[in-house]
Amino acid sequence: MVSETGFDSHGTRCAAWYLEATSDALTGSRGRPCVVMGHGFGATRDAGLLPFAERFAAAGADVLVFDYRGYGTSDGTPRQNVWHVRHREDYHAAIAHARGLAGVDADRIVLWGSSYSGGHVVPVAAKDGQVAAVISQGAAMDGLAALLEIGRYAGVGQLLKLTGHALRDIVGSLLGREPHLIPVVGPPGSLAAITADGAETGYRSIMGPTFRNEMCARGALLIPLNRPVTAASKLRAPIFLVVAADDNIAPPSAVRAVAAKAGAGSEILELPSGHFDIYSGEMFQRSVDAQVAFLQRTLRVEAVAG
């Protein structure tokens, strides 16, 4: 059963769904584990996350699925601001909330991310230092590499256009103007942050009713500053990484680099998948089955006790 809830992040309410475990398979003397889930670049919680959450609940974990400040049904301004620093702050607030939930074992919090949030969970887990496990799929682990990928498929001219719109937005914000918005995703050749082949179709295939195809243009300049790969060696929790080997948006090489550098060790599953294929069909089944098996191995009461 999915219930509507929320929590405070830096004085602003983040909206969330809460699913209680429907199995006691992972319940220990201190309660149940809880998986904390956020979404990717410009996305909202109603964009393909619930099927994963339901599988985790069926396996015996509670699940908290949240929207970042300024997104979906969460409060906060400016709206549609893709800024990894704020997103990470919201993850930390969600962790604190999950640890205080009745029936949840505060020592068995799991971070889950996909695409942009698949990167966020690495530095968040490293900074927190107490999460029990991390799951990341199709992740954006190196914003600098992602920016170079945009230059490869869209050209230097596109990077210059994005930079111009970002500077316009930044100057406007300093002058007290409303945010200057650009599309999150669009067809090749259009003005959008992501214009890779198939990206627009991929977004449309998973996005829910609260998704808005717009973002503060300033976010384009922040992409190369988001480099979760640099935090991998500081991880104290085991991490399970699903690599979408045919990803043309988030470079798979950066995910493999995280696997090699992970401080507490890693498991990796390579799938013949594009960036959006892991949300449905066979690739979803293979990905979520492996993630559930990882949770069962990592969070079972005997493993924790031992």
What digits encode the pLDDT tens for the residues 29-68? 999 999 999 999 999 999 999 999 999 999 999 999 999 9
Which residues sit opposite 197 in a β-bridge?
A: none
pLDDT attached to residue 61: 98
Nearest of 47, 92, 53 to residue 69 by alpha carbon: 92
Per CATH, domain 2-144+227-299 is 3.40.50.1820: yes
Mean pLDDT of the chain: 95
Q: What are 18-37's pLDDT values in tens digits?
A: 999 999 999 999 999 999 99
Q: What is the pLDDT of residues 82-105, one digit of tens each?
A: 999 999 999 999 999 999 999 999
Q: State yes or no: pLDDT of 263 exceeds 80.
A: yes
DSSP-based helix, strand, coil % in the chain, nearest 5: 40, 20, 35
The pLDDT of residue 305 is 46
Contacts of 266 (CB under 8 A, 6+ apart): 238, 239, 240, 241, 258, 259, 260
What is the residue extent of each domain of the chain?
2-144+227-299
Report d(CA 2, CA 52) in Å as an integer.
13
pLDDT higher than 90, residue 149: no
DSSP code string of 148-173: HHHHHHH-HHHHHHHHHHHHHHHHHH
CB atoms within 10 A of CB 198: 16
> What pTM was computed for the model?
0.95
CB contact set of 162 (below 8 Å; sequence gap of 6+): 150, 182, 191, 193, 217, 220
Residue 39 CB partners (closer than 8 Å, separation 6+): 45, 47, 49, 67, 68, 114, 115, 116, 117
Q: Are strands 133-137 and 104-114 parallel, antiparallel or unpaired?
A: parallel
pLDDT tier for residue 148 given thresholds of 50, 70 and 90: confident
Report the percent of the chain where pLDDT is more than 90: 93
What are the tens digits of pLDDT across the range 193-213?
A: 999 999 999 999 999 999 999
d(CA 106, CA 131): 9
Cα 172 from chain centroid (whole Å): 29
pLDDT of 306 > 70? The answer is no
Bigger pLDDT: 301 vs 273:
273
Q: Is the pLDDT of residue 259 over 60?
A: yes
pLDDT digits (tens, 9 = 90+) for 157-172: 999 999 999 999 999 9
**Side chain identity at residue 220, one-letter code:** A
Q: Which amino acid is at 289?
A: D
- Please determine, for residue 145, whether its predicted confidence score (pLDDT) is greater than 80: yes
**Do β-strands 62-66 and 12-19 pair in parallel, antiparallel, or remain unpaired?**
antiparallel
In this model, does residue 152 exceed pLDDT 70?
yes
Cis upstream peptide for 209 (omega within 30°): no
The first and second tokens of residue 173, run together, are 């914000």
Cβ contact 162:192 at 8 Å: no
Predicted local distance difference test score (pLDDT) of residue 262: 95
Q: Across residues 262-268, what is the average pLDDT?
A: 91
